[in-house]
Chain A
């Protein structure tokens, strides 16, 4: 049980925030289906066991974008970053579907300077300023991540794709998921269906069973997966991809990740 083998760093580039991620990350909304406008609370953390707060808080949760059905943004309230989780409240006043997103990403570099190891994390602009051209033993990588969940007050409203990075295009509404039924999702990379990507689904509550019971699926030629939900619960969905669309020419590839929290209700 050694730690730190999977050390992936993510940076909130637009804000210049830095986040080092050794574990999986998630958002956990207190509700996803509401019949009356009001508050929800959202917890977020990093760790191995999904929705189990035993490792580290998610950094930067105060920058969560909560987009209301009319496209306006809901300002987070009562943000708190604890030792094991970050939390905030959202007042959902409108009816329809809210999309909660945390985007992350940026450029990472390491190089040698006079025998000393140097590291950098940030956006393309800061990279140009801080990393010397022709640095010795320069290694550059780039990443773009999206962490999401969806909450609906009243009747679900359609969600539109962003066309940026790796994203889920829900063909079945993400707030209309029921155990025993089939849901279909498409995954797009820069607005185009992404085939042959592995999608992993893990149900919460792993502490109360012996095996993780992961569901592994592969996107088809149209970038789609269909899943028949075996049980109700909160599911963590993860998919990763890579492409060559980097913002700095020194980076050969860009790693993309998409993580969503989906709630499946009983029949």
Chain B
């Protein structure tokens, strides 16, 4: 393993110089309801014409037998229409389990799946949440790519999502 170290180290050091990065903090709000289920959440990047530039993350219940958990994917209706119905879940590096209430951080480097090389231009970060026996909410954050300098964009959900923190690093 010792011989490999210099190579691995140089790769880590080199990465920031090549690729811009985005970091997203998503707050899953704590709700006091009689019947609580963790929300399904989808995160993706859209172009101004609503076409999809990147499908970044989908949290759903993939552990139920007979893929029962896929029954509610369509409740994230924008994601389902734009992306979900074209794909088969699970998707390596994109889908994962639902998350408990609290703050969850996701980081994506440009050119590294699932965030492809984005041509310069205008985009929208879309975050959609839907909860069984609950509601549905979509937050949209427009941004410019590539970022000229480190930028932080925020949004605040009202029902199914809490605070969104979206950091763009050149």
Measuring CB to CB, which residues of chain A are less than 8 angstroms from any residue of chain B?
1-3, 5-6, 48, 54, 210-212
Contacts and interface: CB of A to CB of B under 8 A. Distances in A.
A242 to B, nearest CB: 15
Nearest to B73: A1
Query: In terms of DSSP, what is the predominant structure of the interface of chain A?
Result: loop
B68 A210 contact: no
Given A1-B72, A48-B132, A212-B135, A6 B35 contact: yes
Contact of B98 (A1, A3, A48, A211): A1
Given A1-B40, A5-B35, A210 B135 contact: yes
A48 B68 CA distance: 15
B131 interface: yes
B61 interface: yes
B70 to A, nearest CB: 10
Contacts of B64: 2-3
Contact of A2 (B61, B71, B135, B137): B61
B136 interface: yes
B17 interface: no
B69 interface: yes
Nearest to B135: A211
Contacts of A6: 34-35
14 contacts: A1-B39, A1-B60, A2-B38, A3-B64, A3-B68, A3-B132, A48-B132, A54-B71, A210-B136, A210-B137, A210-B159, A211-B159, A212-B134, A212-B135
A70 B125 CA distance: 63
Contacts of B72: 1
Contacts of A54: 71
Nearest to B160: A210
Nearest to A200: B34
Nearest to A5: B35
B37 A1 contact: yes
Given A1-B132, A48-B132, 15 more contacts: A1-B38, A1-B60, A1-B61, A1-B72, A1-B131, A2-B38, A3-B64, A3-B68, A6-B34, A48-B133, A210-B136, A210-B159, A211-B135, A211-B159, A212-B134
